[in-house]
């Protein structure tokens, strides 16, 4: 018998951690290769982690609610066949505890648990100055979980870390996750001096809403984007009267023929994709010592549920028709709301278009979808009096397009030209000039 480890997979290009939302197996269960083991939440997707082996679940290292970095062990599986286990000294601490027939003394077991602190536990402990050596864990093998610390914080009975123990613990954080990518380790180090959570008084009648793993992941990604990317913002107003007339004349027949709605948003995504092809600098990402200009034009779109925001991707949007883009928008939105979005649906985005106008917004500044270089907010189409070229005033259908940009990658000149081109494409859209097929 040999013991194999299942690790937290990377469920997206910029995903660095995931939260175990639900275990689908228990210790002692027999599983086959590719059977789902757990449901995992990230800032980009909800997904199931499949088993890489056939065997029996030996230990669940993480508990529900734990947030682990990509590459961290979530469970172990005992499989048949293969070579016998080597000496315990050469194996992982989890394997050693299973291979040993004699119970290890309590201090040794505690040391083994320390080696497996998750980044979420370490961060929470540092933010609240908790000495983890004084905490008794309720997880597998005495492992300290995030729930243990949250219960301790809520009770107010917190064992404080002394100044002499702070330095070793900070060192332990970097050493505890050897599988972490270098960029992630750097990000963890930057997160260490984070301010403690604010103390908010709770009065009678107030409702306390727990922050879910998805919401925490969204918050972390947005915070990273605002801290690392110097945001700039610009806006243009677009006269889409002809587009509105064209779409309204098509929508009923289109719905009967195609089976889904022809939305204004499909026209905007197509215009953006065409402009990105003409201004490829916008389709770029910051990579530290270089800028990566992406070849494929993959448009990320924001789709919201009641409690989370997901960003699926329309791949090669410049090669699709308005009808094709509309169909894909519809299918991705249905996947999100049915909880069937796959990790591959979220990967590869190079530029984000956000339909903020769907809930009546007329002007907004989006936070860039890291590590992309820009995000475009498409606001609500509203009727306004406009002074025409002949000096006459007419009621026109107007929309604001608001662009947030990473000023490390993009300058105002190229962004202004890009927005002007999007405006030109939209204002020239009509029955005579534009085909949706």
Would you please indicate which residues are annotated as catalytic (active-site) residues?
407, 411
Provide DSSP, 22-91. Answer: EES--TT-EE-TT-EEEEEE-SS-EEEEEPSS-EEEEEE-S-TT-EEETT-EEEEEEESSSPPP--GGGS
Q: How many residues would you count in the chain? A: 437
Compute φ and ψ for 215, nearest 5 degrees.
-65, -40
Nearest residue to 95 via CA among 104, 106, 85:
85
**What is d(CA 398, CA 394) in angstroms, rounded to the nearest whole number?**
12
**What is d(CA 380, CA 160) in angstroms, rounded to the nearest whole number?**
52
Residue 299 CB-density burial (10 A; 0-12 exposed, 13-18 middle, 19+ buried): buried
**What is d(CA 332, CA 334) in angstroms, rounded to the nearest whole number?**
5
**Is the Cβ–Cβ distance between 329 and 266 less than 8 Å?**
yes
Query: How many other β-carbons are positioned within 10 Å of the β-carbon of residue 383?
Result: 11
Nearest residue to 286 via CA among 241, 329, 345, 350:
350
Is the preceding peptide bond at 371 cis, omega within 30 degrees of 0?
A: yes
Token digits of residue 83: 């070579």
**Is the Cβ–Cβ distance between 343 and 47 less than 8 Å?**
yes
Token digits of residue 408: 């490390």
**Is the Cβ–Cβ distance between 88 and 96 less than 8 Å?**
yes
Token digits of residue 66: 């734990």
Q: Helix or strand or coil: residue 192?
A: coil
Per the DSSP assignment, residues forming a β-bridge with 5 are: 76
Q: CA–CA distance from 223 to each of 191, 194, 288, 368 (Å)? A: 10, 11, 18, 10
Backbone CA torsion sign across 422, 424, 428, 433: negative
**What is d(CA 255, CA 382) in angstroms, rounded to the nearest whole number?**
24
């Amino acid at each position: 018998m040999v013991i194999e480890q299942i690790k937290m997979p990377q469920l997206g290009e910029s995903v660095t951690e995931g939260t175990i939302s639900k275990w689908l197996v228990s210790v002692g269960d027999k599983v086959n290769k590719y059977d789902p083991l757990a449901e995992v939440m990230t800032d980009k997707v909800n997904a199931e982690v499949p088993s890489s082996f056939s065997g029996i679940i030996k230990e669940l290292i993480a508990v529900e609610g734990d947030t682990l970095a990509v590459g961290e062990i979530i469970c172990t599986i005992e499989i048949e066949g293969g070579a016998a286990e080597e000496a315990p000294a050469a194996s992982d601490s989890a394997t050693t505890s299973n291979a040993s027939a004699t119970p290890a003394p309590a201090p040794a077991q505690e040391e083994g648990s320390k080696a497996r602190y998750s980044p979420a536990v370490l961060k929470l402990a540092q933010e609240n100055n908790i000495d983890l050596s004084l905490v008794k864990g309720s997880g597998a093998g005495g492992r300290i979980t995030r729930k243990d610390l949250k219960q301790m914080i809520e009770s107010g009975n917190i064992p404080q870390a002394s100044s002499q123990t702070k330095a070793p613990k900070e060192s332990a954080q970097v050493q505890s996750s050897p599988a972490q990518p270098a960029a992630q380790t750097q990000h963890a180090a930057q997160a260490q001096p984070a301010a403690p959570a604010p103390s908010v008084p709770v009065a009678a009648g107030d409702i306390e809403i727990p922050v879910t793993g998805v919401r925490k992941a969204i918050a972390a990604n947005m915070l990273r984007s605002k801290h690392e990317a110097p945001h700039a913002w610009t806006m243009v107003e677009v006269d889409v009267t002809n587009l509105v007339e064209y779409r309204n004349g098509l929508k009923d027949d289109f719905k009967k023929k195609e089976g889904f709605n022809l939305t204004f948003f499909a026209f905007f995504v197509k215009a953006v994709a065409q402009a990105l092809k003409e201004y490829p600098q916008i389709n770029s990402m910051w990579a530290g010592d270089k800028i990566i200009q992406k070849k494929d034009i993959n448009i990320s779109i924001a789709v919201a549920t009641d409690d989370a925001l997901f960003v699926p991707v329309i791949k090669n949007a410049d090669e699709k028709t308005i009808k094709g883009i509309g169909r894909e928008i519809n299918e991705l939105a249905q996947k999100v709301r049915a909880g069937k979005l796959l990790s591959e649906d979220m990967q590869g985005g190079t530029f984000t278009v956000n339909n903020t106008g769907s809930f009546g917004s007329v002007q907004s500044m989006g936070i860039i979808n890291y590590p992309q270089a820009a995000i475009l907010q498409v606001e609500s189409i509203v009727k306004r009096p406009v002074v025409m070229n002949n000096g006459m005033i007419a009621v026109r259908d107007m929309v604001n397009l608001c662009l947030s940009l990473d000023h490390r990658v993009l300058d105002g000149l190229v962004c202004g030209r890009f927005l002007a081109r999007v405006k030109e494409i939209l204002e020239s859209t009509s029955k005579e000039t534009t085909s949706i097929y």
